Structure 1
Amino acid sequence: DRLAAGENLYKIGVRDIPLAIANGWSGGTTVAGTIFCAHKFKIRTFATGGIGGVHHGSGFDISADLIQLSKTPMIVVCSGAKAILDLRATIEYLETYSIPVIGYQTNELPAFYSSSSGIHIDTRADTAEKIVDIARAYRELGLQNSILVVNPPPKETEIPSEIINKAVEQALSEAERDHITGKDVTPYLLQKVVENTSGNSMQANLGLLRNNARLAGTIAIADSRQ
């Protein structure tokens, strides 16, 4: 309840964790922060809705999630990068930093709220066991990057790409109008997308979170058995 409705809460990335400890802050960890903490406690798989990535219109606004993915061995289950981001630029960044993107029962990068982005991905795995095999091969070679497993959102809650793209374009325009910058950009855009879709994006978000958690649990069980 405190995290959901409390005041004076912080968005905590890796750089903020020591500050949060020293100052007694409460807040939620970013994907990067969660990867860091999970790895410290020898957790090898975790789920999120979508990772951060490269923002539209600037090659310099890049999420620290991508940096952490490049240097921490973890199986990360998500529905791609958040739809407010530049998905093609994000995929290029992942490729540059040797972060494998594995489609779970798909050869197309999910676009967070929708299953279709038009972006092809080369590696596909149809079972949790195959994902574990791939992750194990990386570990045995001593590679320190994460494995990014992209899981399409459930059909019953996904939003057609043409609808979500229009909502995102409107949100980006509003962010520019309101001079939103820095750490405020992502929460601002996500809230605007909720408003621009009459709340449907929130239901889609909850649906894909449950779906990703289910897959991550299946992968973790398979990993423990091998």
Structure 2
Amino acid sequence: MAFLLKFISRGTRMAAPFRRNCNGLAGPLVLSKEVREAKAENKPIVALESTIISHGMPYPHNLTTALEVENIIRQRGAIPATIAILNGQLTVGLTEDELRYLAQAKGVVKVSRRDIAPVVAAKLDGATTVAGTIIAAELADIPVFVTGGIGGVHRYGETTMDISADLTELSRNKTLVVCSGVKSILDIGRTLEYLETQGVCVCSFGESDDFPAFYTMKSGHRAPHRVPDALHAARLLHSSRLLQLGSGILVAVPLPQEHAMDEKIIEDAINCALEASREKGINGKEVTPFVLSAVASATHGVSLDANIALVKNNAKVGADIAVEFKKLNNKHMSDKKLNVTHTVIRREFHTSCHVRASEGCKGKDDVPLFTLDKHAKGDVLVIGGANVDQVYRLAEHKIQQTLEHSILRCIENKNLKITSTTFYGPK
């Protein structure tokens, strides 16, 4: 019942994505059993992308990492919700069998905003990018999302105009994204400038203001803001939502020191991989998976180990933020309920009563019992668009005497006080 009332209080906006139409077909979003139960029990949930499974890592590392990341989130008190499109159905929360399928399936489409509708319409399998996952997380009302690194402005983007849709989605939606900064293969400086233009709040996480660069702890750029721990990040998310800013938050977490790579080694590997991609004519959304794979080969798997380590570390941070945010949100909702008791609720009588209470009606039998002040205190709760009208017509003298007598008895029994013809409830 509490779960139902929560959604009633938010209106029909949140319930709509989960309805079925008259033909019994599923709506645009399907929640796994674990995610549904988490929502019903008001547990914190963390969204996870699926491109890292289908395009980011080779099998079986992709499956092992996906399962371990989900378990890390559960151990820290939150519920994981890996997001993907399976047979044309946008799904929030994958089962272990579905994760195994996605880790080995061929022809899985890499899905950003522009690809979601075509993949759903064609009933294909799709793995959501950061942008695609943010859209699904917003639909499912999941405020925290964990990934490895976000997309950004590609190198030479000033001439190619190759800019990831991840940046635009961060500006369109309220989601807090936990990552290890921008992928090293991109132009980090221009990406930060673009995020500033889009109004996205960018924060480093921990003790340093340095903005991380995926494989390394420093990128040579500083983050505009810093959150020292999960509680501060949760407060930031809570404040942003109270202010209804409508834009996202990027929390950049440096990977652990023991897994950080040498900056020169990784930069040389990236440059070689980018040159190879240009020679092969690879462009668009295929560049990132190609370069990541080439860098992993060039570093003899060291970059893959760093990738896995940073994703796991981000999962810990994201789960902690989700847990702290849920506590803050629950306290805020509780405080709002307490404040309702101190709010003056006023109701307005039907306009016909107000008309008949004019000066010209004085002394007539059909004058209502209410004064010209048609406002009165009362505990009236209206859900939706209900209208409550009360019209009193007293034409017979005896009926009026009987009604007045009954009202006086009610006042006496309920310890009500009457002043002139205005009634006040029990004190």
TM-score using structure 1 length: 0.97
**2:155 corresponds to 1:53:** no
Q: CA RMSD in A?
A: 1.0
Q: Residues 58-137 of structure 1 correspond to what in structure 2 (within 5 A)?
A: 58-59=157-158, 60-105=161-206, 106-137=208-239
How far apart in 2 are the matches of 1:20 and 1:12? 8
SS of residue in 1 equivalent to 2:304: helix
Runs of 4 or more above 2 Å deviation: none
SS of residue in 2 equivalent to 1:156: helix
SS of residue in 2 equivalent to 1:52: coil
Counterpart among 39, 46, 55 of residue 138 in structure 2: 39
The structure with the largest alpha-carbon Rg is 2
Aligned-residue offset at 1:2 = 2.0
SS of residue in 2 equivalent to 1:55: coil
SS of residue in 2 equivalent to 1:77: strand
How far apart in 1 are the matches of 2:240 and 2:194? 19
Question: Residues 89-133 of structure 1, C-alpha deviation per residue, up to 9 Å, x if partnerless?
Answer: 101101111111111012001000110111112311111111111
How far apart in 1 are the matches of 2:297 and 2:314? 24
Counterpart among 8, 21, 24 of residue 107 in structure 2: 8
> Equivalent residue for 2:347?
none
**2:307 corresponds to 1:208:** no
Question: Residue type of the partner of 1:30?
Answer: T
Say which is worse superposed, 88-97 or 2-11, in terms of deviation. 2-11
How far apart in 1 are the matches of 2:285 and 2:226? 33
Question: Residues 66-94 of structure 1, C-alpha deviation per residue, up to 9 Å, x if partnerless?
Answer: 00000100110000011110000101101
> Equivalent residue for 2:381?
none
How far apart in 2 are the matches of 1:83 and 1:3? 26
Say which is worse superposed, 13-22 or 112-121, in terms of deviation. 13-22
Question: Residue type of the partner of 2:162?
Answer: D
Counterpart among 173, 178, 181 of residue 280 in structure 2: 178
Q: Residues 138-149 of structure 1 correspond to what in structure 2 (within 5 A)?
A: 138-149=240-251
- Residue-pair matches, total: 226
How far apart in 1 are the matches of 2:282 and 2:116? 24
> Equivalent residue for 1:196?
298
SS of residue in 2 equivalent to 1:28: strand
Question: Residues 25-56 of structure 1, C-alpha deviation per residue, up to 9 Å, x if partnerless?
Answer: 11210000000001100000010000000000
Question: Residue type of the partner of 1:35?
Answer: I
How far apart in 2 are the matches of 1:36 and 1:166? 35
Aligned-residue offset at 1:206 = 0.4
Aligned-residue offset at 1:58 = 2.1
**2:320 corresponds to 1:218:** yes
Question: Residue type of the partner of 1:89?
Answer: R
How far apart in 2 are the matches of 1:180 and 1:8? 17
Listed as ranges, the gaps of 5+ residues in structure 2 are 1-99, 329-427
**2:255 corresponds to 1:156:** no
Is contact 2:154-2:187 (8 Å) kept?
yes
State the identity %: 40
